[in-house]
Amino acid sequence: MRISKLSERAGLPVGTVKFYLRSGLLHPGLATSATQALYDETHLARLRLIRAMLGVGRLSLAEIQRILDAIDLPVGDPEVRTSLVRAAIAGPDETPFDAHAEDAEVLSEMGWHISPDSPHLRTLMRALEAARSVGLSIDRSRLKTYAEAAAHVARSDQAELDSLPDAERPQALAASLVLLDPILSALRRLAGEHVATVNQGRVPGPRVSNA
Amino acid sequence: MRISKLSERAGLPVGTVKFYLRSGLLHPGLATSATQALYDETHLARLRLIRAMLGVGRLSLAEIQRILDAIDLPVGDPEVRTSLVRAAIAGPDETPFDAHAEDAEVLSEMGWHISPDSPHLRTLMRALEAARSVGLSIDRSRLKTYAEAAAHVARSDQAELDSLPDAERPQALAASLVLLDPILSALRRLAGEHVATVNQGRVPGPRVSNA
């Protein structure tokens, strides 16, 4: 398809598509003349991913570039590919963090097999530090509640990833790591609204809503 | 304390603190002369909240301003105050969304008491739309898994909020809505690493990690 059709199907202005082509976020089309090229479903899929990560995923173009680069790396070993995607999503971070021994213990009690230099461990410790700096008390039992909820979700996500062919997995992994967060966040806020309403005694207890 | 001490304790440059004062994100101190003022623990707490929301929380200054404005509203009714904070966090959004009947059914089956015009419902529907646009298949059973995990977390968060005095609740609610997301996100990624490793058969099953 021509760039006009591509931009229409992706729901983006032609100028934006051209910018993504120039900046390397979108791979070139098949040139048919000095000024024209043809694009296919891979271009459309890539544009939808960029759009979702930029919008709902709240990532910057630089972060998206880093993640797309990792997805596109010509690495044969699927395990290495997924670990590169994970590292790209966690991002570079040189700031040292203070791991509370108690936090590490909770993860250990969960029986999780985690590399001590996992980039997500660093992200977790920094997020815990920030939440505690504003007075949120996240003790052992609360962290365990969160970890259980996370494990419940991760098992379901992995089952979905396992059902895909090897070639599609890095992109699906990136999409699920970035784009399920806003879904879980909105669900937690909705659940919070429900729990708060029940606690205020306005409704006698859980009931079927009209929403 | 003087501004130099305040900035030191908040871990922010004096210029940044002055910028927050000028832009109204931080309330004025008690003026002791034309050029000097004294600050207290409320200023420090506010700076820590701004810093955490800007950093780990990934919010913009405009979003933070909107949330702080809601926290500071002189509204007596605690229920109204928390609903204003929730609305400020969800943000304005005029884009119409397509709610899938099946998604709404899942929430209804959870027994959640949710207002049909809850701002978080809108956020959820938009996030689901974005995730599906890149090919993630989020069917009824997967959404239910997420909703269960969210409910598990929300109950624990509400217990924490209920333990606080009324005056502190709006700020604690805002902090927990914004700053627990990165913690849950990191935990989900860590759990995902564990599940992927187990699935690849590199370890015989869940085991205690050295992390």
Task: Encode pLDDT of B131-153 as tens digits.
Answer: 998 888 898 999 999 999 999 99
Compute the distance between CA of residue B69 and CA of residue A114 in angstroms, rounded to an integer. Answer: 41
Does B94 or A44 have the greater pLDDT score? Answer: A44
Burial of A205 (0-12, 13-18, 19+ CB in 10 A): exposed
Task: Please say if the pLDDT value at position B211 is more than 60.
Answer: no
pLDDT at A208: 43
Contact (CB<8Å) A133/B51: yes
Compute the distance between CA of residue A54 and CA of residue A76 in angstroms, rounded to an integer. Answer: 28
Average pLDDT over residues B123-136: 88
Q: What is the largest CA-CA distance in chain B?
A: 70
B95: closest CA of chain A, how far (Å): 13
Q: Determine the number of helices (DSSP H) and then strands (DSSP E) in chain B.
A: 9, 2
Per residue in B178-197, pLDDT (tens digit) is 899 999 999 999 998 888 87
172-211 in B: which are within 8 Å (CB) of A? 172, 175-177, 179-200, 203, 206-211
Which residue in B151, B181, B194 is closest to A114 by CB distance?
Answer: B194
- Given pLDDT bands bounded at 50, 70 and 90, which one contains residue B92? confident
Task: From B200, B82, B146, B211, select the one nearest A187 (Cα to Cα).
Answer: B146
B30: closest CA of chain A, how far (Å): 23
Neighbouring C-alpha atoms within 13 Å toward the C-beta of B14: 4
Instruction: Give yes or no for a contact between B95 and A191, defined as CB atoms under 8 angstroms apart.
Output: no
Going by the DSSP 8-state scheme, the letter that residue B11 receives in this structure is: T
Q: B60 and chain A: CB distance < 8 Å anywhere?
A: no
**Integer angstrom CA distances of residue B5 from B11, B12, B41:** 10, 10, 11
pLDDT at B29: 94
Compute the distance between CA of residue A74 and CA of residue A71 in angstroms, rounded to an integer. Answer: 9
| Nearest residue of B to residue A157, measured between CA atoms | B192
Q: A133 and chain B: CB distance < 8 Å anywhere?
A: yes
Going by the DSSP 8-state scheme, the letter that residue A30 receives in this structure is: E
Contact (CB<8Å) B179/A137: no
Going by the DSSP 8-state scheme, the letter that residue A97 receives in this structure is: -
Beta bridge partners of B37: B31
Which tokens sit at B158?
């509400």
A126 contact residues in B (CB cutoff 8 A):
56
Burial of B32 (0-12, 13-18, 19+ CB in 10 A): exposed
CA B10 to chain centre: 20
pLDDT at A97: 66
Q: A80 and chain B: CB distance < 8 Å anywhere?
A: no
Please give the sequence-ordered ranges of beta strands (E in DSSP) within chain A, or none if there are none.
30-31, 37-38
pLDDT at B94: 62
pLDDT at B96: 64
Contact (CB<8Å) A118/B45: no
pLDDT at A202: 52
Task: From A23, A76, A73, select the one nearest A50 (Cα to Cα).
Answer: A23
Q: What are φ and ψ of residue A60, in 5° steps?
A: -85, 165
Task: From B56, B54, B42, select the one nearest B16 (Cα to Cα).
Answer: B54
pLDDT at A149: 93
Which tokens sit at B152?
């598990």
Burial A31-62 (b: 16+ CB within 10 A, else e): eeeeeebebeeebbbbbbbbbbbbebbebeee
Task: From B192, B185, B141, B144, select the one nearest A173 (Cα to Cα).
Answer: B192
Q: What is the largest CA-CA distance in chain A?
A: 70
**Helix (H/G/I), strand (E/B), else coil: A69:** helix
Compute the distance between CA of residue B27 and CA of residue B43 in angstroms, rounded to an integer. Answer: 7
pLDDT along chain A (211 residues), means of 10: 95 94 92 91 92 88 90 80 84 70 87 83 88 88 93 90 84 88 92 82 47 41
Residue keyed to tokens 């992994």 = A173
pLDDT at A38: 95
pLDDT at A207: 45
Angle, to 10 degrees, between the axis of helix B14-22 and the axis of helix B3-10? 110
Q: Would residue B164 be called left, alpha or beta, if left means φ above 0 and alpha means ψ between -120 and 50 degrees?
A: beta
**Integer angstrom CA distances of residue B147 from A92, B107, B108, B124, B151:** 31, 8, 11, 11, 6
Compute the distance between CA of residue B208 and CA of residue A163 in angstroms, rounded to an integer. Answer: 27
Q: B104 and chain A: CB distance < 8 Å anywhere?
A: yes
- Given pLDDT bands bounded at 50, 70 and 90, which one contains residue B205? very low
Instruction: Give yes or no for a contact between B85 and B170, defined as CB atoms under 8 angstroms apart.
Output: yes
Average pLDDT over residues B85-95: 78
B194: closest CA of chain A, how far (Å): 5
Query: Rg for chain B (alpha carbons), in Å?
Result: 21
pTM of the model: 0.81
pLDDT at A151: 93
A55 contact residues in B (CB cutoff 8 A):
130
pLDDT at A76: 76
pLDDT at B104: 85
Burial A18-29 (b: 16+ CB within 10 A, else e): eebbeeebbeeb
pLDDT at A137: 87
Task: Please say if the pLDDT value at position B173 is more than 70.
Answer: yes
Compute the distance between CA of residue A143 and CA of residue A108 in angstroms, rounded to an integer. Answer: 12
Instruction: Give yes or no for a contact between B55 and B18, defined as CB atoms under 8 angstroms apart.
Output: no
Q: B146 and chain A: CB distance < 8 Å anywhere?
A: yes
B208 contact residues in A (CB cutoff 8 A):
108-109, 111
